[in-house]
Structure 1
Amino acid sequence: MLCESPTNPTLPARLRDRLRVAGALAVSTLALALAPATAAAAGDVQHLSYRIGPFHITPGQNRIAFAPIAPSQRPAVPGYITRIKPNLTYLNGKIPRVDIVHLHHAVWLNLSRKDATMGGPERFFAAGEEKTIFRVPPGYGYYYDPKDRWVLNHMLHDLVGKPAEVYVTYDIDFVPADSPTGRRMKAVRPIWMDVQNGSLYPVFDVLKGSGEGGRFTFPDQARNPYRGGPRNVWRVDRDGVLVAGAGHVHPGGLYTDLWLNRPGATPARARCAATAGAARRRCLAKAPTVRGQWVHLLRSKAKYFGKKGPIDWDLAMTGSRPDWQVQVRKGDLLRITATYDSSRAAWYESMGIMVLYMADGSGGKDPLRTKVDYIGTTTHGRLPENIDRGGRPTNLPNPLALPAGGPAPSVIGISDFRYQVGDFLLPGAGKRPPVVRRGQQVLFVNGDDGREIYHSVTSCREPCNRSSGIGYPLADGRFDSGQLGSRLPGVGRVEWQLPTSRLKPGTYTYFCRIHPFMRGSFRVQ
């Protein structure tokens, strides 16, 4: 499907087909979190604001679509982009709460350039729910040519089952190429690193309790994560300097890590054996972080602002420091991993992305000899719209206290944002948990798929009856249907068989991960 800006012409069919693949490969809830810096010669810097849309969000929408970015929605002259601040607004300019409508992802694609790590259109900027601000250090910028063709790959998500009209906005710092500062600027190109790079929908699941010590790292601790070779490694295609970079994770995510291997070369090891105490700690702090033949370049950490911890979008990512400047050579291998908290919940459809910006040429610090992986700062503070409001008392029933309903049918439909049996919001006895016999076949069927509304059946801790938000309910890992839908980001099917044979007697509650106000229960006997 294609969602277009009404001010732009319809995309040609051939281009649509190309974008369905290239755009889907760019799916992510990412914003490029790069090192804070101020562009040189402030008089040459233009502060420009643009908006794309309006987009009509249908009730329950969670689809991937594309919109051409018109010349009027970007700069009119050649130059360098040094900062981008993304956002999502209603038509009146108000910013929606992330638990009502959010920017699951928006990826800016340049159809006139080739992506470094994947081929196809270049993924040069992206934004997700955390709305990280992109900046590059002074003297660098992403070169912009008004003749380039831009397209926005977007996924706008309604969580509450109500329509909305929104704009995707972006504010940029722009240096015209013919200005004194512009004539001294050096161009950078995006290097998109993804633990599932090249996948049509680049996600993975984090099961509760997986990994070690309550943390799970993908792909290192996953079982058979790839078919046909790793997707998280890229061979550097030319000499250059990495000047900025940062990562993206989903709720539950802790950090992404970037590693480098230089075939035939051995990283320097810390020589601190002769020192002790504070002197030894200082010695180790200056040495490269090495694991085997891989040297650590960058860790982008998720800073969660609330007291609830890593369970929601109330976060900001750290980026590289302004003086990062890492030397890479043609033939080097770059590798990315993503680490999640697995102690509190299961995290389905998770992501691990890091976008780097690289300038061609020589220079920079040799990471095999010099420590470069210092933690940077977050690119913004706490966002009011991202503060999680889930988990408050409600009038929803407690299924543990309800009498049993009738025998569960062999098919439970999902329609109009309701589970047709055992839904908390059904009237009268309809909300009572239906009785399921162990081993009985119970099939959930998404009847909303024809309206491009996707649902899940995901277990949550009983009674699962507090207010919905990003951090409530949480998936407890006992069962999950996947996102029932015939098109991406759905799993390609609309039916799911409840695993009744492995469920112990008791009352079970579940919710929809896409529309968390949807709750249901059943009772196993």
Structure 2
Amino acid sequence: MVALAGRASKAVALALLVGGIWAPASSGAQGSPAGGAQPGAYSQLVWTKPVGRDTTRFEFRYGPLFAAPGHNLILVGPVTIEKPPGDGWVTRVRPDLVDASGKAPPIEQVHMHHAVMLNLSRKDTTYPSLPQRFYGFGEEKTIGQLPRPYGYPVSSSDVWAINYMLHNETSQTKEVWVQYDIDWIPASSPTGRRLRPARPAWVDVQNGKAYPVFDVNRGSGTRGKSTYPDQVTPSPYGRGPKLNEWKVDRPGTIVAAAGHVHPGGLWTDLSVLRGRRRVHVFRSSAKYFDPNGPVSWDMAMTKTPLPWRVGIRKGDVLRVSATYDTKHASWYESMGLMLLYIADDRSGPDPFKHRVKTTGKVTHGHLAAANNHGGRPTGLADPRKLANGSTVASGVGIGDFTYLPGDLSAGGAMELPPVASAGTPLRFGNFDAGGSIFHTVTACRAPCNRSTGISYPIANGRFQFDSGQLGYGPTGLSAAKNRIDWTTPASLPPGTYTYFCRVHPFMRGAFRVLPRH
């Protein structure tokens, strides 16, 4: 990771005025595949071991995956991923992201935004135009386990793949592998002959979208919380279908459920609608180990207890919502979903006739990859105490992972906050975009000069603003704004404003708005 206070200011001395915006002479990516295909990646078996009667645990790794600086694209592997041999049953999945040593890298350097395991040989349950989504994870790394006597049936001819979005928060290429442990029971074994099939059902607040995200603004909702889509007006779905609902196609029993949220997420709720009636059946809650509260990936999600069951009828509607904290910060590009497994039997109690347990348990505790919360003192100046910088009608350039002028680690005159008169927007331009490197200009609370970690900085500026991810990427497959420039709101009152890059949080800057004379 690039040290917050230790970057050389040589690029500052070479700054040029390009296209009306300040930009370093050498702006671009620092060596690596820039978010395209990963031609060297392959899937391999690492080890196997028996873990129970007729049950073998397989550990697979897929990689190496080269996450370029600013890598934030959704990719599907150019090759399929390995699975256990023959016909059988998956009863447990444990996902991870690891480096060459087999250890999980620090989350503040590189992490899995989200990954989805796909069975290309089957249609998806809730969105049939997609291949079947049978497991997914982010840095919460929920361990999925189906209760006996259920399993996910897999044929020897099934083909698996993985859709993933890596997030490299540094200025250097990172090499990682997706690791997944599968508990496997052969179909021909005595245990395998007794298992019953359960199918995956993916219920998402943005179901079917290639990049299924939404923004949560600080202060929205009520009492420091906001629920999507319930508290969003107008409806994010407009007059179209409610993407967070799925009509059950045949009767069955939900035998397992777990949710996925991003930092700031509090829980996802699953409800069953039957006619005009509605009943809440499960809440997958985020348990934060971070002492700073619900602000980072230092957390785990709860899943249903193994004895949990809910019976559903054909024509019932399954509905999911996601609740986020809005007291601490704004949360951009958030997610909210629930992965269910549904058996075709009718063993589950009818939730409209019987009370259902709606709470669950986490599948792991604090993970070492989430140790660095950040927020420690550094040698960076408090920009509120710095003298005025220059008036830059030409704007601020972003290049070589530096904001020029006004970068807090630039040193000299380029460290001073550039100034603009009240009512005059300040323009920013991303000159790293040619290397598929995204940058943002996101408000953080002043002085915003402490060490980088998974919970610092966050989007908690006194006045909220966010440029979105400046750069270019395929529409719908990335958060790219498909432009490189952005201007600050003209409504900002006089004062010093600090900001950071959500893609590379070690990048910090400041500007100052002066009273109009």
Instruction: Report how far residue 496 of structure 1 moved.
Output: 4.3
Kindly indicate whether residue 184 of structure 2 is the aligned counterpart of residue 174 of structure 1.
yes
Match of residue 484, structure 1, among 462, 465, 470: 470
- Alignment of structure 1 residues 430-441 onto 2, 5 Å: 430-441=414-425
Is contact 2:137–2:260 with CA below 8 Å preserved after alignment? no
Secondary structure (helix, strand or coil) at the match of 1:212 reads coil
Between Structure 1 and Structure 2, how many residues are aligned?
Answer: 466
Give the unaligned 5+ runs of structure 2.
Answer: 1-34, 44-49
Q: CA 1:201/1:432 → structure 2, altered by over 3 Å: closer, same or farther?
A: same
Q: For each residue in 1:266-299, what CA deviation from the matched residue of structure 2 results, as whole angstroms up to 9, or x when unmatched? A: xxxxxxxxxxxxxxxxxxxxxxxxxxx2100100
Secondary structure (helix, strand or coil) at the match of 2:89 reads strand
Residue of structure 2 in register with 1:32 after alignment: none
Residue of structure 2 in register with 1:6 after alignment: 40
Q: CA 1:462/1:7 → structure 2, altered by over 3 Å: closer, same or farther?
A: closer
Residue of structure 2 in register with 1:217 after alignment: 227
Instruction: Report how far residue 60 of structure 1 moved.
Output: 2.6
Match of residue 245, structure 2, among 213, 218, 233: 233
Q: Measure the CA separation in 1 of the matches of 2:356 and 2:79.
A: 37
Instruction: Report how far residue 70 of structure 1 moved.
Output: 4.2
Secondary structure (helix, strand or coil) at the match of 2:180 reads strand
Is contact 1:91–1:165 with CA below 8 Å preserved after alignment? yes
Match of residue 295, structure 1, among 279, 287, 309: 279
Instruction: Report how far residue 394 of structure 1 moved.
Output: 0.6
Residue of structure 1 in register with 2:259 after alignment: 247
- Percent identity between the aligned chains? 50
Residue of structure 2 in register with 1:367 after alignment: 351
Residue of structure 2 in register with 1:459 after alignment: 443
Is contact 2:228–2:323 with CA below 8 Å preserved after alignment? yes
Give the unaligned 5+ runs of structure 1.
Answer: 10-39, 265-292
Q: CA 1:262/1:94 → structure 2, altered by over 3 Å: closer, same or farther?
A: same
Mean alpha-carbon deviation: is it higher for 93-102 or for 56-65?
A: 56-65
Task: Tell me the amino acid that sits aligned with residue 113 of structure 1.
Answer: R
Kindly indicate whether residue 151 of structure 2 is the aligned counterpart of residue 141 of structure 1.
yes
Q: Measure the CA separation in 2 of the matches of 1:261 and 1:300.
A: 18
Mean alpha-carbon deviation: is it higher for 173-182 or for 191-200?
A: 191-200
Kindly indicate whether residue 501 of structure 2 is the aligned counterpart of residue 506 of structure 1.
no
Match of residue 470, structure 1, among 445, 454, 472: 454
Is contact 1:5–1:54 with CA below 8 Å preserved after alignment? no
Task: Tell me the amino acid that sits aligned with residue 404 of structure 1.
Answer: N
Is contact 1:41–1:181 with CA below 8 Å preserved after alignment? no
Secondary structure (helix, strand or coil) at the match of 1:354 reads strand
Match of residue 318, structure 2, among 334, 345, 366: 334
Is contact 2:227–2:323 with CA below 8 Å preserved after alignment? yes
Q: CA 1:41/1:74 → structure 2, altered by over 3 Å: closer, same or farther?
A: closer
Is contact 1:313–1:387 with CA below 8 Å preserved after alignment? no
Secondary structure (helix, strand or coil) at the match of 2:303 reads coil
Root mean square deviation, CA, Å: 1.8
Secondary structure (helix, strand or coil) at the match of 1:501 reads coil
Instruction: Report how far residue 69 of structure 1 moved.
Output: 5.2
Is contact 2:290–2:373 with CA below 8 Å preserved after alignment? no
Q: For each residue in 1:235-257, what CA deviation from the matched residue of structure 2 results, as whole angstroms up to 9, or x when unmatched? A: 00111110000101111111100
Task: Tell me the amino acid that sits aligned with residue 452 of structure 1.
Answer: S
Kindly indicate whether residue 412 of structure 2 is the aligned counterpart of residue 428 of structure 1.
yes
Instruction: Report how far residue 8 of structure 1 moved.
Output: 5.2
Q: Measure the CA separation in 2 of the matches of 1:2 and 1:190.
A: 29
After TM superposition, the score normalised by the length of structure 2 is 0.87
Mean alpha-carbon deviation: is it higher for 54-63 or for 181-190?
A: 54-63
Is contact 1:60–1:161 with CA below 8 Å preserved after alignment? yes
Match of residue 331, structure 2, among 322, 342, 347: 347
Secondary structure (helix, strand or coil) at the match of 1:426 reads coil
Is contact 2:393–2:426 with CA below 8 Å preserved after alignment? yes
Task: Tell me the amino acid that sits aligned with residue 87 of structure 1.
Answer: D
Instruction: Report how far residue 7 of structure 1 moved.
Output: 5.8
Instruction: Report how far residue 410 of structure 1 moved.
Output: 3.0
Q: CA 1:196/1:505 → structure 2, altered by over 3 Å: closer, same or farther?
A: same
Task: Tell me the amino acid that sits aligned with residue 251 of structure 1.
Answer: P
Task: Tell me the amino acid that sits aligned with residue 335 of structure 1.
Answer: R
Q: Measure the CA separation in 2 of the matches of 1:56 and 1:306.
A: 29
Task: Tell me the amino acid that sits aligned with residue 300 of structure 1.
Answer: S
Is contact 1:509–1:519 with CA below 8 Å preserved after alignment? yes
Secondary structure (helix, strand or coil) at the match of 1:400 reads helix
Task: Tell me the amino acid that sits aligned with residue 447 of structure 2.
Answer: P
Kindly indicate whether residue 100 of structure 2 is the aligned counterpart of residue 97 of structure 1.
no
Q: Measure the CA separation in 2 of the matches of 1:359 and 1:309.
A: 37
Instruction: Report how far residue 81 of structure 1 moved.
Output: 0.6
Instruction: Report how far residue 361 of structure 1 moved.
Output: 3.0
Instruction: Report how far residue 65 of structure 1 moved.
Output: 1.2
After TM superposition, the score normalised by the length of structure 1 is 0.86
Q: Measure the CA separation in 1 of the matches of 2:169 and 2:379.
A: 20
Structure in which a larger fraction of residues adopt helix: 1
Q: For each residue in 1:354-393, what CA deviation from the matched residue of structure 2 results, as whole angstroms up to 9, or x when unmatched? A: 1000011322110001111331110111111113421111
Task: Tell me the amino acid that sits aligned with residue 70 of structure 2.
Answer: G
